[in-house]
Amino acid sequence: MKKIIMLVCVCALWSCNQPAQNPNFEKNVELAKNYFETFTAENSISDLLSDDVEWRSCFYGAPAMNKEETLEYVKGWQGAMENITYTAENFLPGVDPETGQLNGSVRTYGTWAGTNTASGKSFEIYMYHYFTFNDEGKIINSGDFGDATGLLMAVAPDAAE
C-alpha cells in the first residue's frame, strides 16, 4: 500500500511540473511591444523585420507577404487611420508548431482603436497577433487575425445619396 501511495504522490508531483519558460520570451515581449509602439507612432517598421520575413495579413484569402509587401501593408493601415492605439490584453508564450515546445515566440490579444482618415469614423477592434524573432531580434514570422474587412466596411465614408 505504501508503494502505491508513494507512486501516486510521485506521479502527482511530476504531472504538476510546468515546462520552463524559453529564456528569450521576456526579451521578445519587449520586441513585440516595440513593434506596436513603432506602428502606432506611424513610423516605419522596416528595421524591425528580417529581410526574409513572412507575414500573414488579416484579410480573407490574402497570401503570405515578404518584407516589401509587409511594409506596404503596414503603410496602408497607417495612411488610412489616425490616432492609432493598441492596448494589449496580454502577451503569451508561443510554441514551435512541429514540436509543441516553448520557442520564445510571442502571441498577444488586444484592442486597436483609432479614426478612419477619409470618413472621420472611429473604431475599436479586438485582434490577435503572433511574432517569431531571430537571434538578432528581428521579426521572421508574424501575422494578425481579426475582421479587417468588417472594420474597413464599418469606417468607410457613407455612400453619396
Chain centroid to CA 131 = 5
> What distances in angstroms separate CA 143 from CA 18, 53, 77, 156, one per listed residue?
28, 11, 14, 24
- The torsion angles phi and psi of 69, rounded to 5 degrees, stand at -65, -40
pLDDT digits (tens, 9 = 90+) for 115-153: 999 999 999 999 999 999 999 999 999 999 999 999 999
- The torsion angles phi and psi of 35, rounded to 5 degrees, stand at -60, -50
Checking phi first, is residue 66 left (phi over 0); if not, alpha (psi -120 to 50) or beta? beta
Name 43's bridge partners.
Answer: none
pLDDT digits (tens, 9 = 90+) for 47-67: 999 999 999 999 999 999 999
Hey, which CATH number is domain 23-155, 3.20.20.70, 3.40.50.9100, 3.10.450.50, 3.40.1390.10? Answer: 3.10.450.50
The beta-strand segments (E) located in 57-157 are 81-95, 102-116, 122-133, 139-145
pLDDT digits (tens, 9 = 90+) for 17-33: 566 788 899 999 999 99
